[in-house]
Structure 1
Amino acid sequence: MVGDGFHIELLGAQDRGAFCSGVDALDRYFRERVTQDVRRRVSNCFVLLDAENQIAGYYTFAAAGILLADLPESLAKRLPRYPSLSAGLIGRLAVERRYQRRGLGALLVVDAVARALRAEPAIYALVVDAKDDHAAAFYARLGFHRFTSQSKRLFIPIGEIAKRLSGQGE
């Protein structure tokens, strides 16, 4: 339960036909392809529903790996020398136009963080692939760090989030 009449749940039989975020690629994916990815277990899709159970936003969430070499040296030197680390990937995230600029995108990220914190297998970080510089700036404001080799791929260590939540990261 999220509050203010909104809640997040796994994508089900909701009508996706009218969803419009203003980003054609995200809208087309959500209307035409997301159920195939879910059925094939490529990713899960979580939807933010308003008080009338209309879709206000969505994000996809999947398992991923990140190369140790792609992390900033200051962080990588404190980690085991495994070639890659496990991660959760927010592959796509969009908010319906009429709900934009209300903090709902951040709310979807918080939900993904909560799911990553509860994950049974260990997840080192949450990763996002920003579609453009504006999206990258959004994630950076939420505390995500850029990978050294890819300016639009960002991450935040789950341990960093856990410290912030417990008040130890201040």
Structure 2
Amino acid sequence: MTARFIIGALEARHDRKTFSCGVYALDRYLKEQAGQDIKRRTAMCYVAHEPDSDKVAGYYTLSAGDMALKDMPEEVAKRLPRYPVIPVARVGRLAIDKEYQGQRLGAAMLWDAANRALRAEMGVFALAVDAKDEPAAAFYRYFGFVAFPSMPLQLFLPLATIAKA
């Protein structure tokens, strides 16, 4: 499974041209925008590739963000400080090339993002995602993410939960 992949920061040597996950916006982002976001430090992009290849098998982005306390489930919100927003690490995009789909690489990349958030040298309450549709939300729920009551496609997983895993 994932032992055959290396996950690290996107570099110029990585082949992005052939990446195709089946979602135009995600393909375009990797090919045209990811490098600019890294330079501007608005997001970091991490890619998976096989050890003997620079072809991108999958990628995700990670950036700082926040969640409104008022939108969180009550049982979670009552244990947090009364700040209007709570800091999170946000997975902005997660995509796997069609050639590698169905091999649990998405799960491995999500785990990698969770571990990077845990190692962050800043205060972060949770790993947050904005699922693009219901099947994507189901993927995140499978790994324990919780949806905001009024926004079912916005989900989060407290870092305390990740640390216990």
- Name the TM tier (shorter chain): over 0.9
What's the secondary structure of 2:95's corresponding residue? strand
**1:109 counterpart letter in structure 2:** L
Separation in structure 2 between the aligned mates of residue 80 and residue 131 of structure 1, nearest angstrom: 30
Q: What's the % identity of the aligned pairs?
A: 48
- Secondary structure in 2 matching 1:55: coil
1:98 and 2:121 equivalent? no
Whether the 8 Å contact between 2:72 and 2:149 is mirrored in structure 1 is yes
Alignment-derived partner of residue 4 in structure 1: 3
Which residue of 1 is the match for residue 47 of structure 2? 47
Aligned match of 1:154: 155
**Equivalent in the alignment of 1:24:** 24
Task: Tell me how far 1:81 sits from its aligned partner.
Answer: 0.9
Q: Could you list the runs of 4 or more consecutive aligned residues of structure 1 that deviate by over 4 angstroms after TM superposition? A: none
Distance (Å, rounded) in 1 between the aligned partners of 2:146 and 2:153: 10
Amino acid at match of 1:32: E
The equivalent of 1:168 in structure 2 is none
Q: Deviations over 1:7-33 (max 9, x none)?
A: 111000112110000111100111111
CA distance in 1, matches of 2:3, 2:86: 37
Stretches of structure 2 that go unaligned for 5 or more consecutive residues are: none
Residues 93-150 of structure 1 show CA distances to partners (whole Å, capped at 9, x for unaligned) of 1001010011100111100000011111111000001111110100000110001221
Partners of 1:17 and 1:97 in 2: CA distance: 14
1:79-118 superposed matches below 5 A: 79-118=80-119
Q: CA deviation at 1:3?
A: 5.0
Displacement, 1:4? Answer: 2.7
Q: Secondary structure at the match of 2:66?
A: strand
Q: How many residues align?
A: 163
The residue number in structure 2 matching 1:134 is: 135
Computed over aligned residues only, the root mean square deviation of the Cα atoms, in angstroms, reads: 1.2
Superposition deviation, residue 53 in structure 1: 2.8
Q: How far apart, CA to CA, are the structure 2 residues paired with 1:45 and 1:125?
A: 19
Q: Distance in 1 between matches of 2:76 and 2:87?
A: 15
Amino acid in structure 1 at the alignment position of 2:156: F
3-state secondary structure, aligned to 1:111 = helix
- TM-score w.r.t. the length of structure 1 is 0.92
Higher relative contact order (CA 8 A, sep 6+): 2
Give the letter aligned to residue 10 of structure 2. L
Q: Secondary structure of 1:38's partner?
A: helix
Relative to the length of structure 2, the TM-score reads: 0.95
Partners of 1:124 and 1:46 lie apart in 2 by: 21
Partner of 1:67: 68
